[in-house]
A and B are shown apart, each in its own frame.
Chain A
Amino acid sequence: MVPRAAYVHVPFCAHRCGYCNFTLVAGRDDLIEPYLAALQRELSVIDPPCEVDTLFFGGGTPTQLPPEQLTRLFELVLARFPLAAGAEVSVEANPADVDAARLDVLSHFGVTRLSIGAQSFDAAKLATLDRNHVPADIVRAVELARGRKLAVSLDLIFAAPGETLAGWQADLVAALALAPDHISTYGLTFEQGTQFYGRRARGELRSADDELELAMYVAAIERLTAAGFEHYEVSNFARPGCRCRHNEVYWTGGSFHAVGPGAARYIDGRREVNHRSTINYIRRVLDGESAVAEVEQLGPEDAARERLVFGLRRLEGIDLAEFHRQTGFDAESLGGAELAHHIAGQRLVIEGNRLRLTREGLLVSDAIWPDLLRE
């Protein structure tokens, strides 16, 4: 299947936030030029160019690039991934960077969607999260995006150290007040290798209590769905017709191209991940070596199991007939006794031709997935 989706990783940030373990370099804008050169080189193998329905610029912070370099980024990417009619083009942005000049560049190249790393509307929480923007930046960024007819998505983090349920409710209200098209909510995680992980180990930070985090998650689901958002994936909410089509490709087993350091692609049942170190990536690609660090070829059954798990993370679940058509496997026999056990426990349910998570199942879903996979 020829991919109709592409991801571009832009690994630059002004500063690395304490909870972040993504592939990025902070304060190394001197690497933007070599990065663009490497990206061009990596893209050169997409020959002939591959038309895409969805294109996603993630990071890092794509908007960290100054307008002139941002322009060149789009030129070289679009040369290889020309947009089909009605294509969705998403760009992640830090509220602090969003300005008219950059948004002009985005609009010019056909960007349709701005994904803003808002995280919170509370200045103290933003400081705790080690963010370099203030609440007013978010409002300004949303207004600028609106002015250029861009769809707006807001990322929000909950369960930050010291955060209360009331505080989180206030964040949800503030977010809804800006009338975004899409909201993603993430419970804060303490990933190994991050500054937060070390600080928690030293007792300087405390992760939120399980019950509180649960209450916050449920509050987000209730408030956002009440406001007319569809809860369409574990952490994603959209107004009708405003889902992120690109992310849906990931969750429905679709194939996609990817370029840039640490970028992951899935083509012909083969998953590949590029070298994560930006410097390493640049050096390798400019030396004519492969950018790829890891390769995994999935057999039909493993691909089907993966498809089952990630498909079930979408709240509407999987269409059993379509699943069979796509993978050649019957979802129920693939899940076997374990799947039946979870259905009996009312964590999963079959309704008509769809298998999906129940609310109870959703909340403990990570304990279900191991049963549906195999090593």
Chain B
Amino acid sequence: MPDCLHIRNFSIIAHIDHGKSTLADRFLEHTGTVQQREMGEQMLDDMALERQRGITIKARAVAMNYTHAGQEFELNLIDTPGHVDFHYEVSRSLACCEGAVLLVDAFQGVEAQTVANFYAAMQHNLMIVPVLNKVDLMHARPDEVIREMEQSLGIDPDDVLRVSGKTGLGIEDLIAAIIKRVPPPKGDPLAPLQAMVFDSHYDDYRGAITYMRLMNGTLRKGQKVKFLRSGRSHEALELGQFVPQRKPCDLLQAGQVGYLICNIKELGQVHIGDTVGVPSSTVADAVPGYQAPKRMVYCGLYPSDGQNFDELRDALTKLSINDPSFEFEPESSDALGFGFRCGFLGLLHMEIIQQRLEGESDLDLVQTAPNVTYHVRTTNGELLEIHNPQKVPEAGFIDEFLQPVVRVNFVLPVEVIGPVMKLCTDRRGVYVRTEYLSPTRAMLVYDLALAEVIYDMHDKLKSVTRGYGTMDYELLGYYPADLVRMDILVNGQKVDALSIICDRRDAEFRGRAVVKKLKQEISRHMFEVALQAAIGSRVVARETISAMRKNVTAKCYGGDITRKRKLWAKQREGKKRMKSIGSVDIPQKAFLAVLETGTENK
């Protein structure tokens, strides 16, 4: 059992694609935790989807034993998710560490998430070990990037280590630096148990597996424990560490990182940020900083044929067992029938859940355009949380309409500062500051409505900066804005699933874009179809799909009969899958029209 002096708990923080997973693999290899031949590609990303997207979604923790200068050390590498949607999970992982390896790509340089993660690590008082990765790359520009790190983050160039996660160059020095620079954890094994939950996952055979860092005290197998926030008590059936597979042990003590299995059948009962203590009178305090997950983005999910409501509920339930940060509740729409309103941490989180739904169940889904959570203060003083544009009260009952605003950090080449500033001012962003990281790169800070950011900011930024700009954001809070609900009418009939909330000044232009897009998506009918965007009873945009005039196949002889019949029968099936509103057939794709257009001509 190592004492605290021989334990080092650290994370690797990096912008996406800067080589975090590869570096982690080298650690596992160099410390002999995993033999080279057992090495799959990138051990820590074990979900297929993560590998596919190259994004580490769920944090994991690995214990590595390593002899340095004749002494045995236990090195706990706590992996963190790299995306802005998972800020809270990142912060919980960092709270378990005393140090962080700040990894910067020697070609890409400092990026938005580098800055965001760096500040997050500083907030947790972590010792930063700055590392330049991919120094073996032909196009590496190590000296410039080190200058960027000095300029933007105040890092001493002499502290920066140079490694290659790919070849293993400099790994030994890096491990030595971690042992030397990162302070050992503090904590008293004899004090009352206090362990912070920083992650969990669901195992089909064992139930919830809780990941925790012991801040104080000692945890023994078979002991009674209590989750202080949820108030539930359990028996510690198994505890151990990841090496990287689960390796049970009899006790864990202050400073260590490991896992706990308690026969918990629902992952929803394990809250990230909760504290594990003992159910006795000498209860230790809960570790500070716990937050319930905040769902910032909502969308409707509907079975496309209106039939598979129960199947969809089962599939969503299954997913939420593994990911309690995702929530859903039944809702109904005139246009789409019965479905669910689903809440996500962010847009990426939404995409991941959707892909899992498609991958793991055989459901054909219609998704409505996502929206952020709004707040409405009504004239009688009530504060409503709005997840669905349909729930916006009549204008006369609204005292104040508030929307979430985020502070966005852009890191980009200086020559595109202008276009990106335009992008932000077009979206009514409020300029905060510019910092020059180097003669060629700058960090631009704006406050923007989250709604503007989630719609297409990321794509626009990529195109304006030709892929060289990155962004990250944090929630500032809710601020009043001049917001309205815009409805879409098809032949005079409101399509509830197409309503959006937008700034009053954008309504006309967005309305035009939406009806134009709908005109492309809805095919001609036997009659004229009117498409209108309206605020209340005021029409702000209109398009007309003229009636079908000609649709007739000339040739139809012996050999054509089967082919034609099959073609027409297939069209019938396609038509059946469309949603019929006022006898206008609306294809499923059209329900995303409000998302895809918003800013095209801005």
Contact in complex: A373, B526 (CB < 8 Å):
no
Which stretch in B227-235, B312-320, B338-346, B565-573 binds the other chain? B565-573
Contact in complex: A374, B557 (CB < 8 Å):
no
> In chain A, what residue has the closest Cβ to B583?
A341
Contact in complex: B573, A363 (CB < 8 Å):
no
| Residue interface bits B442-477, CB-to-A below 8 A is 1, else 0 | 000000000000000000000000000000000000
Complex interface: chain A residues within 8 A of B571 (CB): 370
Contact in complex: A187, B558 (CB < 8 Å):
no
Contact in complex: A367, B559 (CB < 8 Å):
no
Q: Within A199-214, which residues are at the interface with B (CB < 8 Å)? A: 210-211, 213-214
Q: Does B552 contact A (CB under 8 A)?
A: yes
| Residue interface bits B545-571, CB-to-A below 8 A is 1, else 0 | 000111111111111011011001111
> In chain B, what residue has the closest Cβ to A371?
B572
Contact in complex: A271, B562 (CB < 8 Å):
yes
Say yes or no: A213-B550 contact (C-beta < 8 A), given A250-B561, A370-B575. Answer: yes
* Nearest chain B CB to A259 CB, angstrom units: 12
The complex places the Cα of A294 from the Cα of B561 at a distance, in Å, of 13
Q: Does A234 contact B (CB under 8 A)?
A: yes
Which stretch in A142-150, A262-270, A278-286 binds the other chain? A262-270
Q: Does A194 contact B (CB under 8 A)?
A: no
Q: Which of B551, B558, B559, B570 is the one whose CB lies under 8 Å from A366?
A: B551
Complex interface: chain B residues within 8 A of A187 (CB): 552, 554
Contact in complex: A256, B558 (CB < 8 Å):
yes
* 6 residue pairs bridging A and B, Cβ less than 8 Å apart: A187-B554, A235-B554, A251-B556, A309-B565, A370-B571, A374-B572
* Nearest chain B CB to A349 CB, angstrom units: 15
Contact in complex: A369, B559 (CB < 8 Å):
no
Contact in complex: A375, B570 (CB < 8 Å):
yes
Complex interface: chain B residues within 8 A of A365 (CB): 551-552
Q: Which of A214, A235, A247 is the one whose CB lies under 8 Å from B549?
A: A214
Contact in complex: B557, A250 (CB < 8 Å):
yes
* Nearest chain B CB to A198 CB, angstrom units: 21
Contact in complex: A186, B568 (CB < 8 Å):
no
Contact in complex: B558, A363 (CB < 8 Å):
no
Contact in complex: B549, A273 (CB < 8 Å):
no
> In chain B, what residue has the closest Cβ to A210?
B550
Say yes or no: A210-B565 contact (C-beta < 8 A), given A258-B558, A313-B556, A373-B572. Answer: no
Contact in complex: B568, A345 (CB < 8 Å):
no
Using a CB–CB cutoff of 8 Å, the interface residues on chain B facing chain A are 526, 548-559, 561-562, 564-565, 568-573, 575
- Which of A58, A234, A273, A366 has the most B CB atoms < 10 Å from its CB? A366
Q: A250-B558, A264-B559, A310-B561 are in contact. List 20 more A-B contacts (CB 8 A).
A: A186-B554, A189-B555, A210-B549, A211-B550, A214-B549, A235-B555, A264-B558, A265-B558, A271-B561, A294-B562, A296-B562, A345-B526, A362-B552, A364-B526, A364-B548, A365-B551, A366-B553, A371-B572, A373-B565, A375-B572
> In chain A, what residue has the closest Cβ to B574?
A370
Contact in complex: B558, A7 (CB < 8 Å):
yes
Complex interface: chain A residues within 8 A of B558 (CB): 7, 250, 256, 258, 263-266
The complex places the Cα of A213 from the Cα of B549 at a distance, in Å, of 10
Contact in complex: A375, B549 (CB < 8 Å):
no
Complex interface: chain A residues within 8 A of B559 (CB): 262-264, 273
Complex interface: chain B residues within 8 A of A262 (CB): 559
The complex places the Cα of A310 from the Cα of B559 at a distance, in Å, of 13
Contact in complex: A347, B550 (CB < 8 Å):
no
* Nearest chain A CB to B578 CB, angstrom units: 12
Complex interface: chain B residues within 8 A of A358 (CB): none
> In chain A, what residue has the closest Cβ to B566?
A375
* Nearest chain A CB to B559 CB, angstrom units: 4
Contact in complex: A373, B569 (CB < 8 Å):
yes
Complex interface: chain B residues within 8 A of A247 (CB): 557
* Nearest chain B CB to A175 CB, angstrom units: 16
Say yes or no: A374-B551 contact (C-beta < 8 A), given A7-B558, A234-B556. Answer: no
Complex interface: chain B residues within 8 A of A58 (CB): 557
Complex interface: chain A residues within 8 A of B552 (CB): 187, 217, 234, 362-366
Complex interface: chain A residues within 8 A of B551 (CB): 363-367
* Nearest chain A CB to B570 CB, angstrom units: 6
* Nearest chain A CB to B459 CB, angstrom units: 27
- Which of B526, B554, B565 has the most A CB atoms < 10 Å from its CB? B554
| Residue interface bits A347-368, CB-to-B below 8 A is 1, else 0 | 1000000000000001111110
Contact in complex: A347, B526 (CB < 8 Å):
yes
Q: Which of A217, A273, A370 is the one whose CB lies under 8 Å from B568?
A: A370
> In chain B, what residue has the closest Cβ to A341?
B583
The complex places the Cα of A365 from the Cα of B568 at a distance, in Å, of 11
Q: Does A51 contact B (CB under 8 A)?
A: no
Say yes or no: A234-B557 contact (C-beta < 8 A), given A271-B562, A345-B526, A366-B568. Answer: no
The complex places the Cα of A217 from the Cα of B553 at a distance, in Å, of 11
Complex interface: chain A residues within 8 A of B568 (CB): 309, 366, 369-370, 373
Q: Does A185 contact B (CB under 8 A)?
A: yes
Say yes or no: A367-B556 contact (C-beta < 8 A), given A217-B550, A250-B561, A310-B561. Answer: no
The complex places the Cα of A271 from the Cα of B564 at a distance, in Å, of 13
> In chain B, what residue has the closest Cβ to A235?
B554
Say yes or no: A264-B561 contact (C-beta < 8 A), given A235-B555, A309-B568. Answer: yes
Q: Does A171 contact B (CB under 8 A)?
A: no
> In chain A, what residue has the closest Cβ to B572?
A370
Complex interface: chain A residues within 8 A of B572 (CB): 370-371, 373-375
> In chain B, what residue has the closest Cβ to A263?
B559
Q: Does A306 contact B (CB under 8 A)?
A: yes
Contact in complex: B562, A273 (CB < 8 Å):
yes
Contact in complex: B565, A234 (CB < 8 Å):
no
Complex interface: chain B residues within 8 A of A309 (CB): 565, 568
Complex interface: chain B residues within 8 A of A213 (CB): 550
The complex places the Cα of A371 from the Cα of B557 at a distance, in Å, of 21
Complex interface: chain B residues within 8 A of A211 (CB): 549-550
* Nearest chain A CB to B324 CB, angstrom units: 41
* Nearest chain A CB to B160 CB, angstrom units: 54
Q: Within A75-112, which residues are at the interface with B (CB < 8 Å)? A: none
> In chain B, what residue has the closest Cβ to A294?
B562
The complex places the Cα of A262 from the Cα of B558 at a distance, in Å, of 11
The complex places the Cα of A305 from the Cα of B566 at a distance, in Å, of 12
The complex places the Cα of A264 from the Cα of B563 at a distance, in Å, of 11
* Nearest chain B CB to A4 CB, angstrom units: 14
Complex interface: chain A residues within 8 A of B555 (CB): 186, 189, 235
Contact in complex: B549, A310 (CB < 8 Å):
no
| Residue interface bits A219-247, CB-to-B below 8 A is 1, else 0 | 00000000000000011000000000001
The complex places the Cα of A211 from the Cα of B546 at a distance, in Å, of 12
The complex places the Cα of A265 from the Cα of B571 at a distance, in Å, of 25
Complex interface: chain A residues within 8 A of B550 (CB): 210-211, 213-214, 217, 363-364
> In chain A, what residue has the closest Cβ to B562?
A271
Complex interface: chain B residues within 8 A of A217 (CB): 550, 552
Complex interface: chain B residues within 8 A of A294 (CB): 562
List the 5 closest A-B pairs by CB distance, nearest first: A264-B559, A370-B572, A214-B550, A370-B571, A186-B554
> In chain B, what residue has the closest Cβ to A159?
B554
- Which of B549, B553, B554, B558 has the most A CB atoms < 10 Å from its CB? B558
Complex interface: chain A residues within 8 A of B548 (CB): 364, 367
* Nearest chain B CB to A168 CB, angstrom units: 14
Complex interface: chain B residues within 8 A of A363 (CB): 549-552
Complex interface: chain B residues within 8 A of A234 (CB): 552-554, 556
The complex places the Cα of A345 from the Cα of B547 at a distance, in Å, of 13
Complex interface: chain B residues within 8 A of A296 (CB): 562
The complex places the Cα of A313 from the Cα of B552 at a distance, in Å, of 10
Contact in complex: B569, A374 (CB < 8 Å):
yes
Complex interface: chain B residues within 8 A of A264 (CB): 558-559, 561-562
The complex places the Cα of A250 from the Cα of B556 at a distance, in Å, of 9
* Nearest chain A CB to B527 CB, angstrom units: 8
Complex interface: chain A residues within 8 A of B569 (CB): 370, 373-375
The complex places the Cα of A275 from the Cα of B67 at a distance, in Å, of 72
Complex interface: chain A residues within 8 A of B556 (CB): 234-235, 250-251, 310, 313
Contact in complex: B549, A367 (CB < 8 Å):
no
